[in-house]
Structure 1
Amino acid sequence: MSAPERIPPRSVSADDPAVAVLLAEGELTVRGRIREASNAALYCTVTHEGLEAACVYKPVAGERPLWDFPDGTLAGREVAAYEVSRATGWGLVPPTVLRDGPYGEGMCQLWIETAPAGAELLALVDAEEPEPGWKAVGFAEVGEGRTALLVHADDERLRRLSVLDAVINNADRKGGHLLPTADGLLYGIDHGVTFNVEDKLRTLLWGWAGEPLTEEALDVLKGLRKALADGGTLTTALTPLITPAEVDAARARVEALLTSGVHPEPGGRWPAIPWPPV
């Protein structure tokens, strides 16, 4: 009997129903290391039953200890951020799973190809106020005693991401974590420092601080409230990934956003903007 014909690999996209099984069960092959990452992050390919995709694999063994997050929990937080993103319906975090790999258990996330440079989301400008289409973040030192105004685009995709960050309590939303694609989508990555029970929101997306939430955002938050109830679908998904106290804190943040009806403002206990900002 002749050997079966090899099925040519087919790449998958973030919205492909097969991507979850591919990431969770496929064979991981390490191709290189992403050196800019603060923790071990490996560029890989994953193949399964004729499907193939590029992905990022972050083994728990490669996580650096942090004083304010328990050791060995960052990978689970990355998956938890994806689960919340999925529950919003906004698709802001690439498909992400927790699985075993060449260096032990870790997070595995679909690789996102970014759009060519051109559609900028962040900028430093020599002005006191942002131009139309931009929102002010604050003034930044740019050397030789000079300051410039840090601004981000008044972009609905970023506004949705700012709401997601408020829910997951993202302590590290940098410019380099924003991945716009050629087809007009936007993804956020690197969610290892999220879901702390203390308010640690640090982000470059403060442009809407204090402004009313959109009706769309309020509807999404109402859906999260339901999904985070005891026995809710999102509570069930998060329970193996973060602690019960952290699930309770996420539930409280959703409730606080619905009660206030506005985008959160810096709390003052922690630096509001991550460093470095990119």
Structure 2
Amino acid sequence: MNALTDGLTQLKNTLSATGPTKMEVEVPTRPSFKLPQPRTFLAKLGLAYEELEKRASPTVLLGCEAMQLVYTGFTVPFRIGFMYNPYFTSMPSPRPEFPEVVMYLLLALDILFDLIALVAALRILKTPGAVNAVVPIDQSEPSFSVKATHHRNSEFQQSLLKGLRRYQIIAEWLALLPFDLVFIGQPNAMILCRIPKLLRMYKVPEITRLVKQAFAEHELLSGFHNVGMSLLAGVLLLSLALIHWATCLFLLVAHLECGFYLDQTVSGQTCWAN
């Protein structure tokens, strides 16, 4: 019996010394996986624009964006110069400035082109934030100096591009705020509320370049894509835009000096603009 007891004790000691403990025993667990992170609102808008690009032609989207820039650049100064009454709060109007139906027609066009501007704004969200910059390298410098200079210039250009893109997004979405819809029924206030739409004009050079590229890719319009025609068209369009804006500014000054109907006297004399 003593021998049997000693054998059992030795076996128990051996198992406790070499066998797995409670902490060492592996407990089967379920396979772990990570839940997908929810997309932000801006990311969803960027994906929506990508889907729209797949369904619509890029040329159509470019044409719509160019049209809304022309509409904004023409109508905003036109209303300020021709339709805005600077004294509408202090002096009663003897007759209506313009028919009410014109105001509602312009409001409908404003909403239409604001929707086009909203679609165009989604393109900025799709554009990557930084672009790898190409920096010229001077072969006469030592290699470590070239690398350091290239790294500094590349970082500076990328930070500059990120800053520009940030300001572009701010300007684009600020121009989309419908301030004019708050003052429906007050024509003069609605005219002033359209001024922030001019923030979109920073896109004119980019859209002009894209339109020129579209002309070059089109078989029937490729003849218009050359240095002479581009210069002539650019000068004509710029001249028309400057003449239009100068005329609107002239009328705004006249309305400020002589009233909306140019019937007010200046220093007891007939208005110079009458």
Q: Which has the higher contact order (CA 8 A, sep 6+)?
A: 2
Q: Give the greater-gyration-radius structure (CA).
A: 2
TM-score by length of 1: 0.23
Task: Give the helix-richer structure, 1 or 2.
Answer: 2
TM-score by length of 2: 0.23
